[in-house]
C-alpha cells in the first residue's frame, strides 16, 4: 500500500465521473436525481480536478501503473506539468458545462437522460485518461473511448437523417486520424516494441524516422483538431450535437489533440526540425484564414461557431509552429514566449467557445431555432444570455480587456522577434504572418458582430420569438462561471503566465515567469517594459471609471428628458423586421471579396418572375476538390475488392485452401 499521491487523487476524480455516469444509467428513470444531483456533482468533480491539477502543475512528475490492460503492458499513467495544465483546462471548463447541462437536459429530447448522463461522464473520464496516459496502448484506448462516447453524444437526436450523416462523418475522420496516431506510436516504439512513453523518450529515433513519426502524429491529431484539410467534420458535428456536448467538444476535446501533438513533438521526439514548425505554421495559418472567412458567411449559428473553432485551432497551431521554429534554432526564451501564447490561447478558447456554444443552447431551447435568419431581438427576452454572450463574443473577437486579446497579443509579440531568426527566408516571411493574424482577428470580429447582432439585437424576425424565455438558474450559473473565466483570464495575464512556467520549462526549457512577476500583477511585459507592455487592469479600470463619470457629468449638466418614439430610419415609414440585414446579407461583402474561396450556387429571380425565388448556397470547396474524389476512389476500390466476395461457400473454402498452399510453399522455401 503506497502513499496516496496527487496522481491517485486525479485518477479518483476521473473515476468518480465514471461512477456518476453509471449511477445515472442505473437510476435512469429518476430524472430529478440525474439533473439535480448527478450533473452538479459532475461539476463539483470538475472543480476538484481543476484544483488538483493546479497544485500538480509545478510538482515533480508522478507515475502510476494500473494492473489492467494487456498482459505484458499494464496501463501507465503519468502526471506532469503538461498534463496538469490540460487537466486544469478540462476540469475548469467541465465545471461550467456540467452545471449548465444540469439545467439543460430535458426528458424526451434525443437520447434518454440516463444514457446521456453515462455517455457524457464517460466522455469526461476518457478525456482525463487521454491526458494522463503514459503508454501508447492506454492512450489509444482512452482516445477511442473519447471518440466513441462523443460519437454517441453527437448522434443523440439520431432520428434525423442529417444528424446520422454528421455522426458518421465524425466517426470516420476520428478513426482515420486514430490510425495515424497508432502508426506514429509504432514508429516511435521502434523495433524494440515497447509502447510505454518512457521507452519512446529513451529510444533514439534516427534519420528519417522522427520526421515520419511527427508527420503521422500531425495527421492523426490534426484530424481531431480540425486542421485543414481534415476540418470537414467540425461544421457538421457541432451543430448536430446537443449544446453542452458541442461546447465540450469544441472547448476541450479539440485541445486534447493539441496536447497529443505537444506531447509527441516536444516530449517524445528529441530533435525538432525547423521545417516541422514551418509546416505547422502554414497549415495553421491556412486553417485560421479559411475558418475565419467561412464563419462570416454562415447562416446557422452553431456552424458559425464551428468555423470559428477551426479559426482558433489554426491560431493555436500557428503559435505551436512558431514555438517549434524558435526551438529548432535554439532560442528557448522566444520559444517559451510563443508557447505561452499557444497554451494561453488553448485555455482562452476553451472558455469563450464553450460559453458561446452554451449560449446558443439556451437560444435553441427558447426558440427552437438555429437559423440566424429566423432569430433577432432576443436582448429584450433573454437579457442574461445576451449579456453573457456579449462577454464571449468580445473575447472571441480578440478585444481588450478580455482573454482572447491577451493570447493574440502574445502571439503578435512573438512574431515581432522572427526577424532575428538566423534563416534567410524565415526572417523575411514570418513577420508578414503577423499581418495575416491581424486579418484573422479582424474577420473574427466581423463574424462575432454578425453572430451577436443578428441573434440578439434588432427586431425579432419571427412572431414566435416573443415567447422566448431566458436561461434557467443552473444554466445561468454555468454561463456565469465561463464568462467570469473569460474576464479573469483577460485581467490577470501574469498569474496565468506564472502558472504556465513549469509547462514551458518542461517543453522548451525556459519560462517567462521572471519577466512576468517583476512588474506586479497588473502589467504584462513578457520581455521588458521598454519592449512591450499591456495592462488589462488599467484598460478596464479606466473604462469603468470614465463611463459613469461621463454619464454623470452629461446627465447632471444638461438634464434633458428621454422620449420613446418610432425609429427614424431616414424617415422611411414602412419598417418591418424583414428589412433588417439577414445573416446572408451581413456576409455578402465577404462572399464578394473572398469569392475564390467559396463554392457558390445562386438562383437569382429575374424582374419578370411571378414567383421570385432567391437562393444562395455557399459550400466548402474541399468537398469537391478532395473528399468526393477520395470517396470515388475508395468506392471504386471496394467494388474491385468486392469481386472476391462471391457469396458461395465453395469459393471461400477455395480461398482458405489457396492460402494454406501458399503458406506451405512459403515456409518450405
Q: 385-414: which residues touch another protein (CB under 8 A)?
A: 390, 394, 397-400, 405, 409, 412-413
Site string for another protein, 434-463 (x = CB under 8 A): xxx-xx-xxx-xx-xxx-xxx--xxx----
Q: Where would I find the beta strands (DSSP E) of 371-432?
A: none
CB 459 within 8 A of CB 474: no
Select 217 or 443, whichever has its Cβ closest to another protein.
443
Range in contact with another protein (rule: CB under 8 A) among 180-188, 323-331, 567-575, 597-605: 567-575
Nearer to another protein, 193 or 589 (CB): 589
When asked if residue 176 is in the footprint of another protein (CB under 8 A), the reply is no
Among 107, 159, 557, 613, binds another protein (CB under 8 A): 557
Choose the binding region for another protein from 12-20, 90-98, 257-265, 533-541 (rule: CB under 8 A): 533-541
Please report, as residue ranges, which positions from 114 to 153 form the binding site for another protein (by CB under 8 A). Answer: none
Residue 60 has what DSSP assignment? P
Neighbouring residues of 504: CB distance < 8 A, sequence distance ≥ 6: 335, 336, 339, 340, 343, 510, 511, 512
Q: How far is the CB of 596 from another protein (least distance, A)?
A: 13
Q: Which of 26, 160, 518, 533 binds another protein (CB under 8 A)?
A: 533
Q: 401 preceded by cis ω (within 30°)?
A: yes
Supply the minimum distance, in Å, between the C-beta of residue 416 and another protein. 6
Cβ pair 199, 192 in contact under 8 A:
yes
| Smallest separation, CB 602 to another protein (Å) | 17
Q: Shortest approach of another protein to residue 417 CB, angstroms?
A: 10
423 sits near another protein (criterion: CB under 8 A): no
Q: What are phi and psi of 513, to 5 degrees?
A: -65, -35
Kindly tell me which residue out of 19, 48, 63, 416 binds another protein, with binding defined by CB under 8 A.
416
Rounded to whole angstroms, the Cα distance separating 243 from 343 reads: 25
State CA 33 to chain mean position distance.
Answer: 30
SS3 call for 534? strand
Q: Are 131 and 122 a contacting pair, CB within 8 Å? A: no
- Cβ-proximal residues to 112 (8 Å cutoff; 6+ apart), any chain: 28
Q: Which strand (E) or helix (H) includes residue 447?
A: helix 426-456
Q: Measured between alpha carbons, how far is 25 from 20 in angstroms, rounded to an integer? A: 9
**In terms of CB distance, is 251 or 400 closer to another protein?**
400
For residues 548 and 669, which CB has a smaller minimum distance to another protein in the complex? 548
Residue 366 to residue 313: CA distance in whole angstroms: 30
C-alpha cell at 175: 478513426
CB of 422 to another protein, least distance (A): 13
The 593-632 contact track toward another protein, x by CB under 8 A, reads x---------------------------------------
The residue (of 574 and 640) whose beta carbon lies closer to another protein is 574
3-state secondary structure of 80: coil
To the nearest whole angstrom, how small is the minimum distance from the Cβ of residue 377 to another protein?
Answer: 7
Residue 466 is a binding residue for another protein (CB under 8 A) = no
What the block records as the C-alpha cell of 443 is 474577420
Least separation, in Å, of the C-beta of 295 and another protein? 12
Contact between 96 and 485 under an 8 Å Cβ cutoff? The reply is: yes
Other Cβ atoms within 10 Å of 411 Cβ, number: 26
Assess contact for 215 and 180: CB atoms under 8 A: no
In terms of CB distance, is 64 or 436 closer to another protein? 436
HSE-CB for 632 with a 13 A CA cutoff: 6
Residue of 530, 635, 648, 650 that binds another protein (CB under 8 A): 530
Q: Is 556 in the site for another protein (CB under 8 A)?
A: no
Q: What's the closest the beta carbon of residue 473 comes to another protein, in angstroms? A: 22
We find the least distance from the C-beta atom of residue 579 to another protein, in angstroms, to be: 4
Chain residues 237-256 in contact with another protein, contact rule CB under 8 A: none
Q: How far apart are CA 474 and CA 452, in angstroms?
A: 23
Of 108-116, 271-279, 361-369, 527-535: span binding another protein (CB under 8 A): 527-535
To the nearest whole angstrom, how small is the minimum distance from the Cβ of residue 507 to another protein? 25
Angle at 328 between CA 325 and CA 334, to 5 degrees: 60
The CA distance from 637 to 629, in Å, is 12
551 sits near another protein (criterion: CB under 8 A) = yes
* Helices 113-132/39-56 angle, 10° precision: 10
Q: How many residues bind another protein (CB under 8 A)?
A: 84
> What H or E segment, with its residue span, contains residue 602?
strand 599-603
Contact between 592 and another protein per CB under 8 A: yes
Q: Which is nearer to another protein, 250 or 535 (CB)?
A: 535
Cα angle for residues 489, 259, 264 (degrees, 5° grid): 145
Among the listed ranges 9-17, 219-227, 269-277, 577-585, the one in contact with another protein (CB under 8 A) is: 577-585
Question: Of the ranges 4-12, 129-137, 212-220, 583-591, which one interacts with another protein (CB under 8 A)?
Answer: 583-591
Which residues, 486 to 525, sit near another protein by CB under 8 A? 523, 525
Span 334-393, contacts to another protein by CB under 8 A: 376-377, 379-380, 390
Q: Is 542 in the site for another protein (CB under 8 A)?
A: yes
Query: Distance between terminal CA atoms of the chain?
Result: 55
Beta-bridged to residue 599, according to DSSP, are 619
| The only residue of 68, 565, 642, 665 in contact with another protein, by rule CB under 8 A | 565
Q: Which of 354, 374, 170 is nearest to 246 (CA)?
A: 354
Output 529-535 pairs: Cβ under 8 A, ≥24 positions apart. Answer: 532/413, 532/416, 534/400, 534/406, 534/409, 534/493
- C-alpha cell, 567: 425609429
Kindly state the smallest distance separating residue 184's Cβ from another protein, in Å.
36
Q: How far is the CB of 598 from another protein (least distance, A)?
A: 16
Does 465 sit near another protein (CB under 8 A)? no
Please pick, from the candidates 26, 179, 192, 428, the single residue that binds another protein as defined by CB under 8 A.
Answer: 428
CA angle 481, 486, 491 (to 5 degrees): 120
The piece of 135-143, 322-330, 568-576, 634-642 that touches another protein (CB under 8 A) is 568-576
Query: What is the C-alpha to C-alpha distance for residues 347 and 404, in angstroms, rounded to an integer?
Result: 9
Q: Residue 531, interface with another protein (CB under 8 A)? A: yes
Q: How far is the CB of 428 from another protein (least distance, A)?
A: 6
Q: Quick one: 44 or 379, whose CB is closer to another protein?
A: 379
Scanning 300-331, the segments in alpha helix (DSSP H) are 301-328
Closer to another protein by CB, 58 or 581: give it: 581
* Residue 532 binding another protein, by CB under 8 A: yes
Q: Is 337 helix (H, G, I), strand (E, B) or coil?
A: helix
Q: How far is the CB of 325 from another protein (least distance, A)?
A: 17
* Residue (557 or 613) nearer to another protein, CB: 557
Interface residue with another protein among 179, 466, 579, 630 (CB under 8 A) is 579
Amino acid at each position: 500500500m503506497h502513499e496516496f499521491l496527487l496522481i491517485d487523487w486525479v485518477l479518483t476524480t476521473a473515476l468518480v465521473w465514471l461512477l456518476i455516469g453509471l449511477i445515472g444509467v442505473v437510476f435512469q428513470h429518476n430524472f430529478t436525481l440525474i439533473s439535480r444531483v448527478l450533473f452538479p456533482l459532475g461539476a463539483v468533480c470538475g472543480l476538484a480536478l481543476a484544483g488538483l491539477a493546479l497544485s500538480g502543475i509545478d510538482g515533480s512528475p508522478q507515475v502510476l501503473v494500473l494492473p489492467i490492460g494487456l498482459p505484458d503492458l499494464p496501463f501507465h499513467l503519468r502526471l506532469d506539468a503538461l498534463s496538469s495544465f490540460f487537466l486544469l483546462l478540462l476540469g475548469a471548463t467541465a465545471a461550467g458545462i456540467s452545471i449548465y447541462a444540469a439545467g439543460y437536459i430535458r426528458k424526451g429530447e434525443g437520447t434518454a437522460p440516463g444514457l446521456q448522463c453515462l455517455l457524457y461522464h464517460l466522455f469526461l473520464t476518457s478525456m482525463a485518461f487521454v491526458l494522463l496516459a503514459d503508454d501508447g496502448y492506454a492512450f489509444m484506448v482512452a482516445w477511442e473511448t473519447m471518440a466513441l462516447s462523443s460519437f454517441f453524444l453527437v448522434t443523440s437526436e439520431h432520428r434525423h437523417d442529417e444528424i446520422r450523416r454528421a455522426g458518421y462523418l465524425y466517426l470516420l475522420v476520428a478513426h482515420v486520424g486514430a490510425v495515424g496516431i497508432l502508426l506514429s506510436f509504432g514508429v516511435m516504439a521502434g523495433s524494440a516494441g515497447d509502447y510505454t512513453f518512457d521507452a519512446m523518450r529513451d529510444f533514439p529515433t534516427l534519420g528519417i524516422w522522427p520526421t515520419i513519426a511527427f508527420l503521422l502524429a500531425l495527421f492523426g491529431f490534426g484530424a481531431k483538431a480540425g486542421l485543414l484539410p481534415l476540418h470537414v467534420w467540425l461544421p457538421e458535428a457541432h451543430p448536430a450535437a446537443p449544446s453542452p456536448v458541442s461546447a465540450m467538444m469544441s472547448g476541450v476535446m479539440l485541445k486534447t489533440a493539441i496536447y497529443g501533438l505537444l506531447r509527441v513533438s516536444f516530449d517524445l521526439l528529441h530533435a525538432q526540425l525547423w521545417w516541422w514548425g514551418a509546416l505547422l505554421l502554414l497549415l495553421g495559418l491556412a486553417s485560421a484564414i479559411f475558418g475565419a472567412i467561412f464563419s462570416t458567411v454562415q447562416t446557422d449559428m452553431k456552424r458559425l461557431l464551428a468555423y470559428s473553432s477551426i479559426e482558433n485551432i489554426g491560431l493555436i497551431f500557428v503559435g505551436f509552429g512558431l514555438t517549434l521554429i524558435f526551438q529548432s534554432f535554439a532560442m528557448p526564451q522566444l520559444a517559451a514566449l510563443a508557447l505561452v501564447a499557444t497554451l494561453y490561447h488553448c485555455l482562452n478558447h476553451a472558455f469563450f467557445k464553450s460559453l458561446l456554444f452554451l449560449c446558443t443552447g439556451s437560444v435553441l431551447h427558447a426558440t427552437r431555432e438555429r437559423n440566424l435568419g429566423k432569430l433577432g431581438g432576443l436582448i429584450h427576452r433573454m437579457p442574461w444570455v445576451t449579456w453573457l454572450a456579449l462577454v464571449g463574443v468580445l473575447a472571441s473577437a480578440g478585444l481588450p480587456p478580455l482573454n482572447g486579446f491577451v493570447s493574440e497579443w502574445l502571439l503578435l509579440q512573438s512574431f515581432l522577434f522572427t526577424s532575428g531568426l538566423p534563416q534567410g527566408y524565415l526572417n523575411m516571411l514570418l513577420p508578414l504572418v503577423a499581418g495575416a493574424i491581424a486579418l484573422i482577428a479582424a474577420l473574427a470580429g466581423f463574424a462575432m458582430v454578425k453572430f451577436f447582432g443578428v441573434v440578439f439585437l434588432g427586431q425579432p424576425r419571427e412572431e414566435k420569438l416573443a415567447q422566448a424565455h431566458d436561461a434557467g438558474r443552473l444554466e445561468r450559473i454555468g454561463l456565469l462561471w465561463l464568462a467570469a473565466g473569460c474576464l479573469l483570464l483577460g485581467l490577470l495575464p501574469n498569474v496565468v503566465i506564472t502558472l504556465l512556467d513549469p509547462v514551458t520549462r518542461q517543453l522548451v526549457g525556459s519560462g517567462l515567469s521572471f519577466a512576468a512577476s517583476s512588474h506586479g500583477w497588473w502589467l504584462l511585459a513578457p520581455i521588458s517594459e521598454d519592449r512591450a507592455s499591456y495592462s488589462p487592469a488599467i484598460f478596464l479600470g479606466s473604462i469603468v471609471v470614465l463611463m459613469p463619470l461621463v454619464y454623470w457629468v452629461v446627465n447632471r449638466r444638461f438634464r434633458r428628458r428621454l422620449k420613446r418614439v418610432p425609429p427614424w430610419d431616414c424617415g422611411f415609414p414602412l419598417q418591418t423586421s424583414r428589412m433588417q440585414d439577414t445573416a446572408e446579407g451581413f456576409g455578402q461583402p465577404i462572399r464578394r471579396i473572398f469569392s475564390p474561396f467559396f463554392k457558390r450556387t445562386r438562383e437569382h429571380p429575374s424582374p419578370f418572375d411571378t414567383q421570385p425565388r432567391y437562393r444562395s448556397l455557399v459550400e466548402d470547396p474541399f468537398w469537391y476538390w478532395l473528399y468526393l474524389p477520395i470517396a470515388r476512389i475508395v468506392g471504386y476500390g471496394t467494388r474491385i475488392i468486392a469481386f472476391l466476395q462471391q457469396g458461395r461457400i465453395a469459393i471461400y473454402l477455395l480461398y482458405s485452401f489457396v492460402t494454406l498452399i501458399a503458406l506451405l510453399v512459403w515456409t518450405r522455401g
